[in-house]
Amino acid sequence: MKTSRSISIMVISIWGLFCSCTTVYQRQEAAQINKNDIYKMLYYASLAGSSHNSQPWKVEVTRDSLIRLYADTTRALTVVDPDRRELYISLGAFIENLNLTAGSLGYNSTVKLIDDKKNITLVAEIHLNRALSTHYNLELIKKRRTLRTPFDTTLISKKDINQLLAADSQQIHFYPARSKEGSLIAQKTVEAYTQQAYNLAAQNELAGWLRFSNKDVSEKKDGLTTAGMQIDGLSGFFVRHFLKPADSKKASFIDGGIDKTKKQALNCGGWVVITCSENTVADQIKLGRLYEHIHLNCTQLQIGFQPMNQIIEEQNFKNEVTKSLGIQEELLFIARVGYVANIPAPVSPRRPVEAFTIFEK
């Protein structure tokens, strides 16, 4: 009996020691994750693209380095994006940037999507663990920019097209600008933009995100600025100093926007279209990661990139184009692409990490 009791006590002691060591090991692993690194991850993540530069993300960071990503629904575009498709695509782009940055800094990030219909704001939980660096070039994330100028109409090379499609050849489609499909997309993009531009509700929503004055840009650090819209030179000076966002609803401003959209749509090398068999929140987030991945590839290849989703935002045009292209899946994203002489440094403002993050104490 004494021998049996002694063995039991020894087993319990060893088990207690093992548990204690495991707890210490877990704490050491958590301690190895530097808070400055997490801050850097969130900074690069926030450089992701978002509709109207609305930056619809909120973040919580726990003491054990779990990152919780939430949708900031106060920043949703209720008129042009009523089902929040573009909001969740933006959050997917945020996750992609965070994942790439984590890998570059020597961390493995495990992303768990929260597809719970009862909780519409918690989008994902991201667990971090130490790993070997991927050496991803973070300068590509810093250089990524939406370009709104005419692109070169030269055909995109087959090699470059293959690189853009490589991430998912089932979901990503490419239509050369001079093809029948490319011409259709260009024409319908202008028509859809025109329809949206004369929609009063859409006008009011857009005006709410315009940051014309330097003061607005400095204070809000979001939205569409003259620099971001590439309204440069004397035109940019005039808009910044003499116009208010409400002036964007005037016919002269609207017509100017339509003319600019025509030049954009008719001057590119082709169109990137992304489809999906489903249209769940999780699918939209995955699509956002795909979109950001493609845009970063374009940055590396010196290819201009501009999302032009008016066809999708205007349901009648979405139905027409989906049928005309013979697409069997859900049409979720459209962008024009084309070679450019250079990609200027990004100018769209970003809110600081502290503005959208809570660090658990």
Q: What is the pLDDT of residues 305-359, one digit of tens each?
A: 999 999 999 999 999 999 999 999 999 999 999 999 999 999 999 999 999 999 9
> DSSP label at 48?
S
Shared-domain flag, residues 80 and 194: no
pLDDT at 5 exceeding the cut of 70: no
Instruction: Flag whether 202 is in a domain.
Output: yes
Q: Is 203 left (phi over 0), alpha (psi -120 to 50) or beta?
A: alpha
Q: What is the largest CA-CA distance in the chain?
A: 97
pLDDT at 216 exceeding the cut of 80: yes
pLDDT at residue 277, rounded to an integer: 87
pLDDT at 15 exceeding the cut of 50: no
Residue ranges of alpha helices (H) inside the chain are 2-32, 35-45, 85-105, 139-143, 158-165, 180-197, 200-208, 214-220, 233-242, 251-266, 281-300, 310-313, 315-325, 353-356
Shared-domain flag, residues 227 and 315: yes
- Split at pLDDT 50, 70, 90, the class of 25 is very low
Instruction: Flag whether 1 is in a domain.
Output: no
Shared-domain flag, residues 296 and 192: yes
CATH number at residue 168: 3.40.109.10
Alpha-carbon span 301 to 297, nearest angstrom: 6
Sequence-separated (6 or more) residues with CB below 8 Å from residue 4: none
Alpha-carbon span 220 to 104, nearest angstrom: 30
Instruction: Flag whether 24 is in a domain.
Output: no
pTM, two decimals, is: 0.90
Shared-domain flag, residues 237 and 304: yes
% of the chain at pLDDT higher than 70: 90
pLDDT at residue 97, rounded to an integer: 98
Q: How far is CA 31 from CA 27, 100, 128, 130, in A?
A: 6, 21, 11, 11
pLDDT digits (tens, 9 = 90+) for 90-111: 999 999 999 999 999 999 999 9
Q: Domain containing 167: what range?
A: 145-339
Between 67 and 11, where is the model more confident?
Answer: 67
Strand partners of residue 359: 61
pLDDT at residue 278, rounded to an integer: 85
Between 64 and 291, where is the model more confident?
Answer: 291
Strand partners of residue 273: 173, 334
Shared-domain flag, residues 199 and 300: yes
Shared-domain flag, residues 201 and 71: no
Sequence-separated (6 or more) residues with CB below 8 Å from residue 37: 105, 107
* Total number of domains in the chain: 2
Instruction: Flag whether 18 is in a domain.
Output: no
Mean pLDDT confidence for 171-187: 97
pLDDT at residue 32, rounded to an integer: 63
% of the chain at pLDDT higher than 90: 84
